[in-house]
Structure 1
Amino acid sequence: MNIEILKTERLILRPITVMDLDYIHELHSLKETDEFNALGIPATIEETKQLLEKWISENNRELTTHFTFAVELITGNQTIGLIGINLGKVKYKNAEVWFKFHKDHWNKGYATESLKEILRFGFNELNLHRIEAGCAIGNVGSIHVLEKTGMTREAHTRKLLPLSSGWSDNYGYAILSTD
């Protein structure tokens, strides 16, 4: 399946490329974006390159199950974040979404706008039944994004996330195609 370019009113969601390496390394190296992310800050750009190459390879599989997009502003083609949707088992018709935006672009509605588009893509293009997301209980920004897109908090899992600050509880969110 070729991954298509998705567009919203203000954003372009396009498959990531090797040209995104420097941006992704910068994004993953920010302490602000690392605070609630289990990935950790990469030790070297080579570590980021390996992750990027894995994502590109997954995007280009004949039967893509992990979609990773760069999020750009329509005006100026500036990359402002990443968003992805990872499919679960085919029979369950489910997936998990994730996103990470540069701190300079927080609180402007970009994460909400891009997540709404990814949810639309998941339900309408991928014919999913259920889409899930998780976030650290202290990640107020992501909690707001998930709830603004109509996702429902369904779970509170104790000490699930290995964050730089220690183990964190996790909130589980989901939305159904019928919601």
Structure 2
Amino acid sequence: MKTATNFFMREITSEDWEAVHSYASISDVCRFQAWGPNSERETKLYIEQVLSDTSVEDPTRYVWGLADIEEGHLIGAAEMNILDKENEIGRISYVIHPGYWGRGIATQAAEQMISYGFQNLTLHRIEAVCDPRNAAAIRVLEKNGMEKEGRMRGHLKLDQGWRDSYLYSILVTDALYR
């Protein structure tokens, strides 16, 4: 079985839409999300929006493709959004193709985003939210030293109704002493 060290983070390109669609169109991948499963058009629009958002001079959105080192194709994506520049707050998220679940890729991608946020973007606080039913996401966040702050009730509207979210965070001072 491959380990997390067999991927790298890179910019997403317009040619990546088919690889993104290969996981964004799977209902299991999006069952805890407000998006998906994507149609081809929705995936292409997502790629266009990512390219637009990340090409501005002072971006508030950073998106990386997670690429398999051996095969070179995209196996997921990782994202950092700046929620509040003045208070130096960012939020991370990630999505992995189910063929690569359980290999530590999400954990390592989250770790890299947290490091990038603190070292390159000089953030003070990095957050993540997840569905309380998503045990795998909870493990990823906790493995990265993020602390659960609480449950946000009715936080996200899904097709099947409103979803609660757990809010996790890590501060730069927490990361320095881990």
TM-score using structure 1 length: 0.90
1:34 maps to 30
Match of residue 45 from structure 2: 50
Letter in 2 for 1:21: W
Q: For each residue in 1:50-101, what CA deviation from the matched residue of structure 2 results, as whole angstroms up to 9, or x when unmatched?
A: 1110111111111111011110122221321111000122211110101011
Among candidates 126, 144, 148, match of residue 143 of structure 2 = 148
Please give the secondary structure, in 2, of the residue aligned with 1:92: coil
Deviation at 1:150, TM superposition (A): 0.6
Question: SS of 2:24's equivalent?
Answer: helix
Counterpart CA distance in 1 for 2:73 and 2:20 is 13
Asked whether the equivalents of residues 35 and 165 of structure 1 are also in contact (C-alpha less than 8 Å), the reply is no
Correspondent of 1:11 among 7, 11, 34:
7
Aligned to 1:67: 62
Equivalent runs, 1:48-127 vs 2, <5 Å: 48-127=43-122
Alpha-carbon shift at residue 12 of structure 1 (Å): 1.1
SS of residue in 2 equivalent to 1:88? strand
1:172 maps onto 2:167 in alignment: yes
Distance 2:71 2:40 in 1: 26
Equivalenced residues, count: 171
Query: With structure 2 as the length reference, what TM-score do the two structures score?
Result: 0.91
Q: State the Cα distance separating 1:136 from its structure 2 match.
A: 0.5
Of residues 72-81 and 17-26 in structure 1, the stretch that sits farther from structure 2 once superposed is 72-81
Q: Distance in 2 between matches of 1:21 and 1:80?
A: 12
- Whether the aligned pair in 2 keeps the contact of 1:67 and 1:86 (CA below 8 Å) is yes
C-alpha distance in structure 2 between counterparts of 1:49 and 1:78, whole Å:
17
Q: Aligned equivalents of 1:35 and 1:166: distance in 2?
A: 12
Amino acid at match of 1:149: N
